Amino acid sequence: MTRRSIPFAVLTAAYLGIVALLTLGPTLWRTRPGLADYDVLSVSTWLDPSTWSRGLSTEFIANILLFVPLGLLLRLALPRATWAGAVLLGGAVSVAIEVLQVLGPRVSDPRDVVANTLGALIGAVVAATIAAVAGGVRRIVRRRPRDRALTRAAG
């Protein structure tokens, strides 16, 4: 971790707290339809085609959007990690949340793992793109004074 990545690490920790509150905290609605309906730990749930066809697309999109900032922040907080590392960490956070939801009154759903990991992927790619553009701009800015000096020496 570098000095520049410390603020991003703090933001990542704070954002993880918000995600934990949203995904593991109490809700105003009943969320447990049945013990085996959505169990993320059940292989049969993952293989059942109805798992992937039921539910709201807005919930899927909301889960993607929830994890975009996490993928971005993980990539910025861990500068030596690749975008793939940030995606793996985001996916691991998602799996941990879903396993913890099995223990509580929340719904554990394999679609959430897929959506959350997709969100982390989008965020990590955005962060990697920003880093690449910023690195290119830095190289151009550093090169210009040297180019001017070479032009003066040649002319």
Domain boundaries, the chain: 6-22+35-46+54-128
pLDDT score for 10: 95
Q: Is 127 helix (H, G, I), strand (E, B) or coil?
A: helix
Query: For 38-53, how does the pLDDT look when each residue is reduced to its tens digit (9 = 90+)?
Result: 566 677 777 777 776 7
Distance CA 134, CA 145 (A): 18
Average pLDDT over residues 13-17: 95
CA atoms of 143 and 149, how far apart (whole Å): 10
| Spatial distance between the Cα atoms of 146 and 149, rounded to a whole number of angstroms | 5
Q: What is the pLDDT of residue 38?
A: 57
Segment 66-93, tens digit of pLDDT = 999 999 999 999 888 888 999 999 999 9
CA atoms within 13 A on the CB side of 72: 15
- pTM as predicted: 0.77
Average pLDDT over residues 105-110: 82
Q: What is the pLDDT of residue 105?
A: 76
Taking Cα atoms as reference points, which of 23, 110, 106, 122 lies closest to residue 67? Answer: 122
Most confident of the following: 26-35, 82-91, 140-149? 82-91
Residue 36 pLDDT exceeds 60: no
Query: Mean pLDDT for the chain?
Result: 82
